[in-house]
């Protein structure tokens, strides 16, 4: 009986440890557009089992820029206030995603800071050394898919460190 209880305890601890580990989508990422240009440094993080992402710096705007391309408000946006008066860096432009599986998050939204459009989103982690479709991933990659109805597009973001993600601001 003691062996059974010990075994159950070991499995419970192992399960708790695996649940507590960060999902591979969490961390710091460089967004890369369709022209293979870095556009921003991002932090992807979880709060209460929901995935969010915020811009830390941008290669397209100077530090301190407001989100002037955004609308006043968006359905489901997690912060109160006028969105177009918020800073570009800091607010959660990716929000509301739920874990479908480890490394696969769905059902949330992303607001494109370049045009203010909100898209339904899906984020899928692609580990280095794997492939999907015709793409091979040499480095850890996030497939960031945004769509409106049946129409969508993917960007492929690369992992970075916090210092790099926060240091991309252009100078006026």
Residue 10 domain flag: no
Q: What are phi and psi of 14, to 5 degrees?
A: -60, -40
The alpha carbon dihedral of 128, 112, 161, 100 has a sign of: negative
Residue 11 domain flag: no
Residue 35 domain flag: yes
Q: What is the pLDDT of residue 15?
A: 43
CA pair distance 105, 98, nearest whole angstrom: 5
The alpha carbon of residue 122 and the mean position of all alpha carbons in its chain are separated, in whole angstroms, by 9
Q: CATH number for the domain including 134? A: 2.40.128.520
Of 164, 149, 43, nearest to 95 (Cα)? 43
Q: What is the pLDDT of residue 12?
A: 46
Burial readout 63-89 (b: 16 or more C-beta within 10 A, e: otherwise): eebebebbeeebeebeeeeebeebebb
Residue 5 domain flag: no
CA pair distance 92, 88, nearest whole angstrom: 10
Q: What is the pLDDT of residue 150?
A: 87
Q: What is the pLDDT of residue 18?
A: 42
The alpha carbon dihedral of 103, 38, 110, 53 has a sign of: positive
Q: Could you say which residues of the chain have pLDDT below 50?
A: 4, 6-20
Residue 151 burial class via C-beta count within 10 angstroms: exposed 0-12, middle 13-18, buried 19 and up: exposed
The domain tally of the chain equals 1
Domain carrying residue 116? 23-165
Helix H or strand E segment including 18: helix 2-20
Burial readout 21-36 (b: 16 or more C-beta within 10 A, e: otherwise): eebbbebbbbbbeeee
CA pair distance 157, 26, nearest whole angstrom: 12
DSSP assignment of 19-40: HHSPPTT-EEEEEE-TTS-EEE
Q: What is the pLDDT of residue 21?
A: 62
Residue 12 domain flag: no
Q: What is the pLDDT of residue 171?
A: 75
Residue 123 domain flag: yes
């Amino acid at each position: 009986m003691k062996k059974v209880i010990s075994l159950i305890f070991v499995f419970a601890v192992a399960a708790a440890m695996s649940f507590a580990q960060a999902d591979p989508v969490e961390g710091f990422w460089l967004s890369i557009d369709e022209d293979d240009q870095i556009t921003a440094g991002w932090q992807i993080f979880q709060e209460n089992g929901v995935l969010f992402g915020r811009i830390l710096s941008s290669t397209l705007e100077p530090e301190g820029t407001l989100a002037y391309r955004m609308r006043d408000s968006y359905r489901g946006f997690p912060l109160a206030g006028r969105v177009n008066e918020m800073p570009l860096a800091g607010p959660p432009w990716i929000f509301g995603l739920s874990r479908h599986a480890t490394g696969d998050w769905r059902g949330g939204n992303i607001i494109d800071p370049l045009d203010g459009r909100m898209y339904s989103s899906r984020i899928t982690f692609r580990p280095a050394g794997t492939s999907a479709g015709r793409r091979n991933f040499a480095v850890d990659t996030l497939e960031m898919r945004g769509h409106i109805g049946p129409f969508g597009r993917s960007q492929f973001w690369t992992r970075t460190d916090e210092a790099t993600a926060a240091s991309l601001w252009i100078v006026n």
